[in-house]
Amino acid sequence: MGEIFSETYANNKDNLNPLKSIRKKFHYPERDGTPLLYFSGNSLGLQPIGVSDSINEQAKIWALKGADGYMSDWVDFHQQFLTDFEPIIGGQWQEFMLMNALTVNLHLLMVSFYKPKDTRYKIIIEGGAFPSDQYAVKSQIEFHGYDPNEALVELQPKKGEYCLNTEDILSTIESHGESISLILLGGVNYYTGQKYDMEAITKIGKKGGAYIGFDLAHAAGNVSLKLHDWDVDFAAWCNYKYLNSGPGAPSGVFVHEKHHRWKGARFTGWWGNRLDTRFKMESNIDPIQSTAGWGISNSSIFSMAPLKNALDIYKEVGMDRFVEESHKLTGYLESLIMSELPQISIVTPNDPNQRGCQLSLLTKNGKSVYESLVNKNVVCDWREPDVLRIAPTPLYNTYKEILQFTQILKTILN
Ligand SMILES: Cc1ncc(COP(=O)(O)O)c(C=O)c1O
């Protein structure tokens, strides 16, 4: 048994952890009074302390002001959060918007950025993209009168492998050349936990003249992103996973500044109209010349309120420190599995720069192993057909919890 598989080692790491005070900023779920080992931050992040006060604050404004609250507090409510996304997504606040849910936003962005015409009509996605993304792109292709069997190109791993090889991604994109209208990939794949080389993909896609978008559901607040500098056209993400803003939190949207004087197709609504002319109630839109121009409806104030608490934590920690500590924490889980659990294989790349917090694990009888973990008060998830996803996050998971998880898993497997 190696030194790392000991409480002394894990406790020592926790004591030296520069983010240890951040842990106090969250609520921790329990089952029948027993604390749970929570490794599902890739699914739903934990609730930051203070969220109920933030929601109550808005309820009070509603109670005291009624409709006057619109002009005094809510008309530009989303705007207060946008600068906080600058270091998380990599862009300027004018390139961000908060609205709707993720799949809805992918559709709205495809209205603008999927414009099939003549011989340029294909969409490239990763094979095994999140189902909602697959449904969305197929329905967009059909909406434009094309056949997904011809217009949808799915990047596939080499036989017997789970992750995509970057060279293969780039050469497939190159080989489809000018027939590609849109490349829409996950920044981090939900199933394998693989982070794609978004910069290289964007560069090669641009050479062929395609638009490039990313679904950042598993990347936002998890890995380092520089969307503006990479010249990505658009992206959308949900704020309820790593970003801890609660179930159904409004989704984030990025549209590169160079598209802000947009003249192309777009589904519009009054929230995309400039604030200074919105209430003139004109019949033609006077669009905001920023990503907010893609806004349609007024904001869901109660679901947006938790963003304040959640983003304050990211502001305090900073993305660089998050990523640095995440590499160590997930690296610890990886080392323990490799040294103590030879029955497990890890699907996620072992290079920390090609992954975020999550490790996807494969084992015999995986589903029943997952059920046993649940019975032992571990919160993680099972994704069909065969992976167990564990996502230690540096904001609230500890080395000790990772050690406990590995001990439990070892007992189950033996
Ligand atoms: C990669 C990915 N895309 C899309 C979605 C769908 O999100 P929403 O229900 O917010 O549209 C999810 C949800 O987990 C996801 O993980």
Over residues 54-80, the mean pLDDT reads 97
Q: Which atom of ligand 1 is nearest to the CA of 43?
A: 14
Instruction: Give residue 218 CA to ligand 1 midpoint distance, Å.
Output: 9
Q: At what angle do helices 366-375 and 399-413 cross, to 10 degrees?
A: 120
Q: Which of 50, 80, 86, 21 is nearest to 246 (CA)?
A: 50
Nearest-CA residue for ligand 1 atom 16 is 217
In the predicted structure, residue 381 carries a pLDDT above the cut 70: yes
> Ligand 1: does its nearest atom lie under 6 Å from the Cβ of 340?
no
And the tokens for 259? 């598209």
Q: Quote the strand ranges of 127-223, DSSP E.
A: 152-155, 180-186, 211-215
Q: Which atom of ligand 1 is nearest to the CA of 103?
A: 11
Question: Which part of the chain has CATH 3.40.640.10?
Answer: 53-314
Q: What is the pLDDT of residue 2?
A: 60
pLDDT per residue over 21-41, tens digit each? 999 999 999 999 999 999 999
Instruction: Give residue 251 CA to ligand 1 midpoint distance, Å.
Output: 10
- Cβ(235)–Cβ(89) below 8 Å: yes
**Confidence grade of residue 1 (pLDDT, cut at 50, 70, 90):** very low
Q: What is the pLDDT of residue 334?
A: 98
**What whole-number distance in Å separates Cα of residue 256 and Cα of residue 234?**
6
Sheet of 387-390, strands arranged across: 345-346, 359-362, 387-390, 381-383
pLDDT per residue over 245-275, tens digit each? 999 999 999 999 999 999 999 999 999 999 9
In the predicted structure, residue 94 carries a pLDDT above the cut 50: yes
pLDDT per residue over 114-127, tens digit each? 999 999 999 999 99
> Ligand 1: does its nearest atom lie under 6 Å from the Cβ of 237?
no
For residue 125, the surrounding DSSP H or E stretch is strand 122-126
Q: What is the pLDDT of residue 133?
A: 98
Q: Which atom of ligand 1 is nearest to the CA of 251?
A: 10
pLDDT per residue over 160-199, tens digit each? 999 999 999 999 999 999 999 999 999 999 999 999 999 9
Q: Which of 233, 193, 242, 240 is nearest to 350 (CA)?
A: 193
Nearest-CA residue for ligand 1 atom 12 is 217
**What whole-number distance in Å separates Cα of residue 259 and Cα of residue 238?**
22
pLDDT per residue over 41-52, tens digit each? 999 999 999 999
Instruction: Give residue 165 CA to ligand 1 midpoint distance, Å.
Output: 24
Question: Which part of the chain has CATH 3.90.1150.10?
Answer: 7-47+319-413
**What whole-number distance in Å separates Cα of residue 397 and Cα of residue 403?**
11
**pTM, two decimal places:** 0.97
Q: Which atom of ligand 1 is nearest to the CA of 248?
A: 10
Mean pLDDT computed over every residue of the chain: 97
Work out the angle at residue 44's Cα, subtended by the Cα atoms of residues 53 and 36, and round it to the nearest 5 degrees.
Answer: 90
| Residues forming a β-bridge with 123 | 152, 182
Over residues 319-325, the mean pLDDT reads 98
> Ligand 1: does its nearest atom lie under 6 Å from the Cβ of 242?
no
Nearest-CA residue for ligand 1 atom 13 is 217
Pocket test for ligand 1, best of 106, 132, 194, 383 (most atoms within 8 A of CB): 132
Over residues 101-119, the mean pLDDT reads 97
Instruction: Give residue 107 CA to ligand 1 midpoint distance, Å.
Output: 12
User: What is the residue whose two structure tokens read 């009168």?
Assistant: 145
- Cβ(388)–Cβ(380) below 8 Å: yes
> Ligand 1: does its nearest atom lie under 6 Å from the Cβ of 217?
yes
- Cβ(201)–Cβ(211) below 8 Å: no
Instruction: Give residue 132 CA to ligand 1 midpoint distance, Å.
Output: 7
> Ligand 1: does its nearest atom lie under 6 Å from the Cβ of 238?
yes
Over residues 213-230, the mean pLDDT reads 98
> Ligand 1: does its nearest atom lie under 6 Å from the Cβ of 126?
no
| Residues forming a β-bridge with 153 | 124
For residue 255, the surrounding DSSP H or E stretch is strand 251-255
CATH T-level assignment (fold) for domain 53-314: Aspartate Aminotransferase; domain 2 (3.40.640)
Helical H runs in 35-183? 51-65, 68-69, 79-82, 102-113, 131-143, 148-151, 166-176
> Ligand 1: does its nearest atom lie under 6 Å from the Cβ of 132?
yes
Other beta carbons less than 10 A from residue 214's beta carbon: 28
Instruction: Give residue 69 CA to ligand 1 midpoint distance, Å.
Output: 31
CATH T-level assignment (fold) for domain 7-47+319-413: Aspartate Aminotransferase, domain 1 (3.90.1150)
Question: Would you give the distance in Å from CA 252 to the centre of its chain?
Answer: 10
